[in-house]
Copies of this chain bind each other. A is one copy, B any other.
Amino acid sequence: MPHLVILYSGNLDAIVDMPALCRDAADAMLAVRDEAGAQVFPTGGTRVLAYPAPHFALADGGVAGRAVGSGKTGISSPDPGEYAFMYANLRMARGRSAATQQAAGQAITAALRARLDPLMATRHIGLTVQVDEGPEVFDAKHSTLHPLFKKP
């Protein structure tokens, strides 16, 4: 924990540098601090995984976008009926304060928007970011990655 899983319509791969977006999101998570100024997410446990969906259906499938066309809305993408969507879900451990949860969500949102806003200006793209508290009833971790970041 924490795990940020990004699900998105596969057509974004052609216009978004996804490895860089993942790195930005991870860096944003690592920079989150709690009310006492302590790092919230342990470095060795911070993970971002992004999955392009090869198959998807969004909204009305492009009808409204094509009907409105490019001119009226500032949308200048080659096909105004081609919609795209990104959903980012952070699962974090239970017990964090509401302020810390909001800070984490806002940090991730800011990182993703920094990459997507320029594209959104000319394309029909939706972004949703949600944070869940893990409801797990069993939790096991085993790692040779975590120890790299343990204080001696």
Contact = CB atoms under 8 A, between A and B. Distances in A.
Task: Pick from A7, A25, A55 the residue with the most CB of B within 10 Å.
Answer: A55
Nearest to A134: B130
Contact of A75 (B116, B133, B144): B144
Interface in A4-31: 5-9, 18-19, 21-23, 25-26, 30
B51 A145 contact: no
B124 A148 contact: yes
Contact of A132 (B73, B98, B137): B137
Say whether chain A's binding surface is mostly helix, strand, loop, or mixed. Answer: mixed
B47 A60 contact: no
B55 A22 contact: yes
Interface string A29-68: 0100000000000011111111111111111110011001
B53 A51 contact: yes
Nearest to A54: B52
A127 B148 contact: no
Contact of A85 (B19, B75, B137, B145): B145
Nearest to A88: B140
A31 to B, nearest CB: 12
A21 B54 CA distance: 13
Nearest first, the 6 closest Cβ-Cβ pairs linking A and B are A105-B138, A131-B138, A49-B53, A26-B57, A22-B57, A126-B143
